[in-house]
Amino acid sequence: MREVTITSGRDMHLIDPALTIWGWEIPVYLFLGGLVAGILFFSALYYLRGKADEMPTVVRVTPLLAPVLLGLGLFALFLDLEYKLHVFRFYTNIRL
């Protein structure tokens, strides 16, 4: 039996550890989605605990940023698509 010591992934066929899988669009989309989830979670938490008067910005103002940030994230996701017209075809194809 021959012992093989692998010190790098570069010797392995079809594997390149420096290969980038995503561009910048997908991490931006995921970050903004998580940011919006956190904003809405803490806003609801403070509202349900009755701390809306202590932190009015968190409860009343910050959730207004959620649709804007989600829109930016979805735009970044749209930029990542290879066939952008398929999105419009998907949303305009109505089957009853």
Ramachandran quadrant class, 16 (left: phi over 0; alpha: psi -120 to 50; beta: rest): beta
**pLDDT of 11 higher than 80:** no
Under DSSP, the state recorded for 26 is: H
* Secondary element (H or E) of residue 75: helix 66-80
**pLDDT tens string 71-88:** 999 999 999 988 888 888
**pLDDT tens string 25-51:** 999 999 999 999 999 999 999 999 999
pLDDT, residue 96, reads 75
Among 73, 60, 66, which residue's Cα sits nearest to residue 40?
66
pLDDT, residue 21, reads 77
